[in-house]
Amino acid sequence: MTASIDAYVRLDTHPTHPSAVQAVLTGTQARVASMALEAAGWSAAATDVLVLARIDHEEPYWAADAAKRLTAEGITVEITPRLLEAIDEEWAWPNYPMPWCTRSEIREVSNQAQKIHDAIRNGHLVIHAHAHDGHTTVAVGTYLHPGGKSVYLHGEDHLRQIADTFDSPAEALVAFEKVHAAEMRPGPARLTDTERAAIAARTVFDVTTGKPEPSRPQLETVPVYLADAGDHDALLDTFLDTHGEFEKWRTWSDETTHAIHESQTLRIERVHETHPRETTWTVAAYETPVSDRIWHLTATGATPGPVLQTLLHYLAEGDGWDTAVGGPVDEKTVSAATRPLTEAGWEHSVDGRWIRWTNLTGDAGVQFDAFAAQSTNSSLATWTVWAGPNVNRATWVVQASPYTPAPLLASLAEDLAQATGTRTAPTASQGTTQPITTPSNLPQIPNQQSASRGL
């Protein structure tokens, strides 16, 4: 006999989306029900509220299936009358291209398309390129799980299918280019209306109430390393609006934006809605669209806006990033990268494998790891640009790998030594920002497949 679980699930139609379903959870063990629903493709939209929004409009059917499974686990489930009506409704796809299929066969085709959609949305299937073949959208991508195949996709929404498979991303891209060279574009195609509607349905519910408008904050001019982070999303949007050589696309989950240079050898990744201490920017350069990375750089969410502007300006100029293939970092490279700090009189020290340049107040600096510089296959950061109490408890961090162009590093160093920015002047009611712990190494980024997704 199945043990009873103190969890109650109320299934109802979505308040705005015509076919989506919402689940409201209560009980001391509501988390058990939440985990079961999330495993079945439901998305958290608010505290103890989940949403099922699919691109095949079969949400009522799969909600009924979820209700059976939850009940079997000992969880109490209530289905509202209007959702029961939707579950019992018989309907058919107009002008369905495979009229010989039964209703259950149509549902199976749609569910396979949904699985492809979810794999892309969750980052498990990376789309390298897409095109329009005159009738529908086609694309080529690679599954990122171990041993994942590269696939040729045909169709959109509930009709998308895997039409062919390949052993490697390079083989898939070559085959795709032979057929669709004229129409081929990097990354996935624009979202369809159905996909956008599903994203909107999964968007976090607004449960806030109106509040009085706060007084306008007072700004003060400070050294650039103390400046506010500002709006990173707006910064990227402005950059893309003024540099048409970069093509923008956003993941299906709407959590990440990728900007890919027309050469497909420079990629920018911006992760939205992250904690200031986490990596939110990753830049990677490649010798060819399908080769290993030459160099990469990351920045945390609290990185000052002016510092990111300097980085993006350098990338837009293209001065050296597309030809930056060389040997291990040498004394000449280090000298060129840190010359602005030396000229500004920053303190220079050597501590074993680390060489450091620190400003006179000790709250900003650049660290060079000589060991990491010679270990080209290591995930350790060769360069660390930071500000905060010290390098190990930094407020924000930019880290770079070997082969990162010295002019780029010099531009960041010059900013650190000379540039200014603005920050909101603290008031008596405001607390201070807690420092973060600098990670000891750069985040791991897929290497072989990274050339396909942009990083």
Note the pLDDT tens digit of each residue in 119-164. Answer: 998 889 999 999 998 889 999 999 987 778 999 999 999 999 999 9
The answer to whether residues 216 and 263 touch, using CB atoms and an 8 Å cutoff, is: no
**How many Å from the N-terminal Cα to the C-terminal Cα in the chain?**
50
Chain-centroid distance, C-alpha 166: 26
pLDDT at 426: 57
DSSP string, 127-179: EEEEEE-SSSEEEEEEE-STTPPEEEEESSGGG-EEEEEESSHHHHHHHHHHH
Tokens for 57? 């409009």
Which phi and psi (to 5°) does residue 170 adopt? -65, -45
Q: Which residues are bridge partners to 365 per DSSP?
A: 358, 386
- In degrees, to the nearest 5, what angle opens at C-alpha 271 toward C-alphas 269 and 273? 165
User: Tokens 């299934």, residue?
Assistant: 11
pLDDT at 223: 93
Chain-centroid distance, C-alpha 435: 24
pTM of the entire structure? 0.51
pLDDT at 439: 40
CA distances from 49 to 10, 80, 207 (A): 10, 15, 11
Model pLDDT for residues 79-109, shown as the tens digit of each residue: 999 999 888 887 666 667 888 888 888 889 9
The answer to whether residues 453 and 139 touch, using CB atoms and an 8 Å cutoff, is: no
How much is the mean pLDDT over the chain? 84
pLDDT at 172: 93
CA distances from 183 to 139, 176, 189, 238, 263 (A): 11, 10, 12, 27, 15
| Positions of the chain with pLDDT under 50 | 1, 206-214, 320, 322-326, 427-454
Say whether 347 sits in a helix, a strand or coil.
strand
Rg (CA), the chain: 26
pLDDT at 217: 62
pLDDT at 213: 46
Decide the pairing of beta strands 8-13 and 76-79. Answer: parallel
How is the chain split into domains, by residue range? 8-88, 103-197, 219-453
CB atoms within 10 A of CB 312: 22
Domain 8-88 sits in CATH at 3.30.70
Tokens for 452? 């396909």
Which phi and psi (to 5°) does residue 417 adopt? -85, -30
Q: Which residues touch 362 (CB under 8 Å, ≥6 apart)?
A: 390
Q: Which residues touch 321 (CB under 8 Å, ≥6 apart)?
A: 266, 285, 314, 315, 405, 408
